[in-house]
Chain A
Amino acid sequence: MRRKLYEIVGRTLLYGCAAVTAGLLLFLAGYILFRGIGGISWRFLSTAESVIHGTVGILPAIKNTVFVILVSLAAALPLGVGAAVYLTEYARNRRFVAAVEFASETLAGIPSIIYALVGVILFCTALKLQKTLLAGSLTLAIMILPTIIRSTQESLKTVPVSYREGALGLGSGKWHMIRTVVLPSSIDGIVTGCILAVGRVVGESAVLMYTAGMSMAMQSFSIDRLAGASGATLTVALYHYAKENADFAVAFSIAAILLILTVIINFSASFLGRKLKELTYG
């Protein structure tokens, strides 16, 4: 009888934890959509803010966000995957590897405002990029580098030794083996790392306020013009409307868009991962 009670109490507590967590998340998502979705219109999505025309639009912020995601990933992905391959497959010095792993784990956890400081000193000032979307993207690239390195490493480690032996036994060189067998087998983990990284990029505001600026103005669509411009991403725009304009309706609309964007990114990334795997394995 006591045993049975013990089981029931345990199960109820666990059920409660799950219910509270799921409930909170659902409430949050529901509340944001409820408050925000009404303000979303084609006009809202396709125009810029204009005092003269009296419009509130977030097209520049959407463009800036996409730009920042693409550029920071383009910079961090090859670097991070390359570093992870070196650390897991080539590095012989165990203490060096352990030190780098410890450092990257620590770096993945430090507050982003510290990256902002580094970005301001390194990219904005020393490299004379000033407050631009390029400087912001590069700073974010540094910020997401540890995430990409660690998730790639974990994924590389799960590739069975038997695959490696099979490839080497056929006379494959080490790099050829990695490129043709190890990396394709770990594409899932790399994609997961990218999703986490994009999540951090989309959610980041502190770094971008300091390194990319808060301009709400429309920039040209060309890459070079966008790179050299200062601009706010969606999160920074959200901050701008909520804090400086106290316009919560707009802030909630942006929040709803961010929520939807995140869902889209996650789905498309896992879709892409599956497709890539099919493509490499035929």
Chain B
Amino acid sequence: MAETILSARNLDFYYGETHALKDICLDIPEHNITALIGPSGCGKSTFLRTINRMNDLIEGVRVTGSLTYRGAEIYAPDRDVTELRKNIGMVFQKPNPFPMSIYDNVAYGPRTHGIRAKAKLDDIVERSLRDAAIWDEVKDRLKKNALGLSGGQQQRLCIARALAVKPDVLLMDESTSALDPISTSRIEDLAMELKKDYTIVIVTHNMQQAVRISDRTAFFLLGELIEFGDTEKMFSQPEDRRTEDYITGRFG
């Protein structure tokens, strides 16, 4: 069993009066792909966004309980959020490259964290684009605007952008839901490749996707964690009736 990298204990999350996450206890192992599944509004995205504190941007949110990254509290008052987000990168639902060149998109993170030397940036940009399996498609047009790429390319560019700051964990918030099947499959292959070096947590609506790529799956329903375990086991012999109903498509 791999080492636990993210750990939630009795985690509760509120949007104003709405109790969005209820008493979540969950250990995410290193170098694994963990899938968060469940119907819309079940709290899976909320959970994902508590991990890198993206929810801080929303007014009136409240977190209680414990959520740790490598043993340190993510919501500790003295936590450096920018450092946390450097370690825990995120790829969003819709591709969101900045309206700048492909090169500048990838170099954005390293520059933000103080890397200025051209040679070093060139190196990081190339390696990140290679790791995100898009180098061959863009190497001749690094100075062109990223918005000219196709949706699938844009999303891989966003992955490259996230990898460029050398994160430890990569969060993917339904990162293939806006893409066509071919782009989706490329990104799935990429995720399988990346888990050697990174820990990946994905939110997905697509259960086949969870089966295809994840090692462990967490099923959320109405803000509660219903079941969490080995993906193969969960999809073949779910322990909870509600999990079974959801994965067999009785609701969702």
Please give the residue numbers on chain A whose beta carbons come within 8 Å of chain B beta carbons, in ascending order: 92, 160, 162-173, 176, 180-181, 184-185, 280-282
User: Is there an interface contact between A170 and B89, defined as CB atoms closer than 8 Å?
Assistant: yes
User: Is there an interface contact between A171 and B85, defined as CB atoms closer than 8 Å?
Assistant: yes
- Number of residue pairs A-B, CB distance < 8 angstroms: 73
The 3 A-B pairs with the shortest beta carbon distances in the complex, nearest first, are A171-B86, A162-B96, A170-B109
Q: Which among B83, B90, B145 is the interface contact of A281 at CB below 8 angstroms?
A: B145
- Enumerate chain B residues within 8 angstroms of A168, measured Cβ to Cβ: 54, 57, 85
Please give the residue numbers on chain B whose beta carbons come within 8 Å of chain A beta carbons, in ascending order: 52, 54, 57, 59, 82-86, 89-90, 92, 94, 96-101, 103-104, 108-109, 112-113, 143, 145, 158, 161-162, 165
In the bound complex, what is the Cα–Cα distance between A164 and B96 (angstroms)? 9
User: Is there an interface contact between A170 and B162, defined as CB atoms closer than 8 Å?
Assistant: yes
User: Is there an interface contact between B143 and A166, defined as CB atoms closer than 8 Å?
Assistant: no
User: Is there an interface contact between A281 and B109, defined as CB atoms closer than 8 Å?
Assistant: no
In the bound complex, what is the Cα–Cα distance between A160 and B94 (angstroms)? 12
In the bound complex, what is the Cα–Cα distance between A171 and B86 (angstroms)? 5
User: Can you report 11 residue pairs joining A to B where beta carbons are below 8 Å apart?
Assistant: A163-B98, A164-B57, A165-B92, A169-B54, A170-B108, A170-B165, A171-B165, A181-B98, A185-B99, A282-B100, A282-B101
User: Is there an interface contact between B113 and A281, defined as CB atoms closer than 8 Å?
Assistant: no
- Enumerate chain B residues within 8 angstroms of A173, measured Cβ to Cβ: 82
Interface of chain A, main secondary structure = helix
A171 touching B108 in the complex, CB below 8 Å, given contacts A166-B92, A185-B99, A281-B100: no
Closest A residue to B142 by beta carbon equals A282
Closest B residue to A163 by beta carbon equals B98
Further 15 A-B residue pairs, CB within 8 A, beyond A170-B112, A173-B82: A160-B96, A162-B94, A165-B57, A165-B92, A165-B96, A166-B98, A168-B54, A168-B57, A171-B112, A172-B109, A181-B98, A184-B100, A185-B99, A281-B145, A282-B101
